[in-house]
Structure 1
Amino acid sequence: MKTVETRTAEKLTVRDLSVHYGGVCAVRSIGFTVAPGESVGIIGANGAGKTSTLKALMGLVPRSGGSITLGERDLTRVKARDMVRHGIGYVPEGRHVFPGLPVRKNLLLGAYSRAWDQESRQQLDEVYELFPVLGEMGDRLAGALSGGQQQMLAIGRALMARPRLLVLDEPSMGLSPKLVGSILDVLLKLREEGLSLLLVEQNAKLTFGATSHCLVMENGEVAMNGTSAELSHDPRVREVYLGL
């Protein structure tokens, strides 16, 4: 059973990406790729530049350097509101659902860039299949949901646009260990179905479990880079990020 109808996967390439806030350099000339169907994680301490990297990728903060391409298309100058039209879905830190709107309307807003047709209706059904609780609470206000349910809603809303690449910023933030496990299960299912993933997380165990490749950021730079399996066994990573 296929849960998410994805577009043809394309390679994301980020080159020499930099972000400055005034005179402070938050991200310093980093580069990485996400191959079609690949899942890539970015971990690091608070202030390492992880969220700034994602926001710069999505056009939510100004870039002071670098380029972004998806497939053959140059997205470097594409406005944030248009990134979803080019196949990049975004689940922001803190979820940012619309609390005064019902669950179903939150999901429908995720499909704003598409015509509402039979394919969109099928996508909604598939999101409900992925997250049954959302179907059961379709008329409930999003603000009345638990933190875990809101995270499911934020992911479901992003999937409604049928992205080629799904970008997630701290999806485990504020969730219980049980709910973190549920989110991991969902990410693994999406990964198995071929959706490309780019995940920023402080929870290294979740990141290594959900991704095939990982970057470790420190002070706005990529300090380590390798497969998730390799990094999960690296002594430095195990001590600093896994507490082992």
Structure 2
Amino acid sequence: MTTTAAGPSAADTGTDSLAVTDLTVHYGGVCAVRSVALRVAPGESMGIIGSNGAGKTSTLKALMGLIPRSSGRITLGDTDLSKVRARDMVRHGVGYVPEGRHVFPGLSVEKNLMLGAYHRSWKGETRDTLAHVYDLFPILRDFRSRAAGDLSGGQQQMLAIGRALMSRPRLLLLDEPSMGLSPKLIENVLDILVRLRGEGLGLLLVEQNAKLTFGVTSHCLVMENGSVAMSGTSEELAHDERVRQIYLGL
């Protein structure tokens, strides 16, 4: 196990790989994220686990450009995203599913989905993407005319993921996708994430549920006090005694 960059080997640098080095975030005089490094290749999934306040969500928001970064280099393939504004990240192939879903409750399911494709024209590719989202989440097709605010929490989570997929991202960032969901719905969402990974999408997943994270990711970071305390394959970490005691309750 290592405390440096985790993920696919250095030789596995596909054109759509996410590479992050020295990511640091300060809130006033407090260092919330300290020198985080990671790599996620197409078809790979990485998890970030840790207790509340460990820096997980701040790391994801910093990657997306939603909060200022003190330092760090972020690239996706040959594209340097270090200075790209949050609103332009989607155009560069980064999808984001925020904690709490943040769907537009007064708009229909389909209008929420189409907002995810705001930068694309309504052509065959967009129609195909919408059809693919409905294939992944048939319940959204059934409820496409229903107001998003009338959906259950699990259905809203599916909608938030589907909306992010409408931009046809190369990389998908997910913040606490299992929060507030029943075990059955969590299983459904995880099945979809495994399917997306099989389709070649890179996934970076922030979760408090370590067992869930290990089940859907290939590599994982453990964050403590803003820093990467441990990293390795999900299988290695799932059998690490310290992780088992602290995060799995074993």
Task: Report the TM-score, using the length of structure 1 for normalisation.
Answer: 0.95
- 1:4-32 deviation line (CA, Å, top 9, x unaligned): xxxx9601111100111111110011111
Q: Distance in 2 between matches of 1:211 and 1:174?
A: 20
Task: State whether structure 2 residue 5 is matched by structure 1 residue 31.
Answer: no
Q: Look up the equivalent residue of 1:99 and give its one-letter code.
A: P
Task: State whether structure 2 residue 94 is matched by structure 1 residue 95.
Answer: no
Structure 1 match to 2:158: 152
Q: Distance in 2 between matches of 1:31 and 1:188?
A: 24
1:45 maps to which of 51, 60, 73: 51
Structure 2 match to 1:141: 147
Identical positions, percent: 74
2:239 maps to which of 228, 233, 238: 233
Structure 2 match to 1:84: 90
Q: Distance in 2 between matches of 1:70 and 1:122?
A: 25
What secondary structure, in the 3-state scheme, does the structure 1 residue paired with 2:23 have?
A: strand
- 1:185-238 deviation line (CA, Å, top 9, x unaligned): 111111111111000000111111111000000000000000001101111111
In the TM superposition, what is the alpha-carbon distance from 1:66 to its structure 2 partner? 0.8
- 1:130-172 deviation line (CA, Å, top 9, x unaligned): 0000000011110111000000000000000000001100000
Q: Distance in 2 between matches of 1:162 and 1:77?
A: 22
In the TM superposition, what is the alpha-carbon distance from 1:240 to its structure 2 partner? 0.9
Q: Distance in 1 between matches of 2:15 and 2:60?
A: 19
Q: Distance in 1 between matches of 2:183 and 2:195?
A: 19
Give the unaligned 5+ runs of structure 2: 1-13
Q: Distance in 2 between matches of 1:41 and 1:197?
A: 8
Runs of 4+ off more than 4 Å: none
Q: Distance in 1 between matches of 2:123 and 2:167?
A: 12
2:15/2:78 contact within 8 Å kept: no
In the TM superposition, what is the alpha-carbon distance from 1:239 to its structure 2 partner? 1.1
Task: State whether structure 2 residue 115 is matched by structure 1 residue 117.
Answer: no
Structure 2 match to 1:223: 229
Structure 1 match to 2:211: 205
Structure 1 match to 2:9: none
Q: Distance in 1 between matches of 2:145 and 2:212?
A: 31
Task: Report the TM-score, using the length of structure 2 for normalisation.
Answer: 0.93
What pairs up with 1:8-23 in 2 under 5 angstroms? 10-23=16-29
RMSD across aligned positions (CA): 1.0
Give the unaligned 5+ runs of structure 1: 1-7
Describe the shift of the 1:9–1:71 C-alpha distance in structure 2 as closer, same or farther (beyond 3 A).
Answer: closer
In the TM superposition, what is the alpha-carbon distance from 1:36 to its structure 2 partner? 2.1
